[in-house]
Amino acid sequence: MKLKKKVKVKNPLGLHTRPAASIVKILQPRKASVFFIYKSERVNARSIMSVLMLAAQKNTSIEIEIEGEDAEETMNLLVAAFEDEFGEKNDRK
């Protein structure tokens, strides 16, 4: 199964180290292949350096591309993490 979905980066500092580390942590137990596509760059989302190199800033859209047996569950986890700003949303309150 192959899934694609666009998500918005809501973190004030964009996809910096903390969100990138969260993404890698979410993906560790997952079996699916996960890629992020931004400005014609397609990177392996399991690589913290690749995610950081996208330099995606606040309010930009990233396309998530997932393929594999647990693709749907993986997509749900990633979308929820982007929506929650990787836990940083609660830190500002």
- Check if 69 is active-site: no
Torsion (CA) 52, 55, 18, 12 in degrees, nearest 10:
180
Q: H helices of 1-93, where?
A: 17-27, 48-53, 71-83, 88-91
- Which residue in 5, 16, 18, 46 is the catalytic one? 16
Catalytic residues: 16
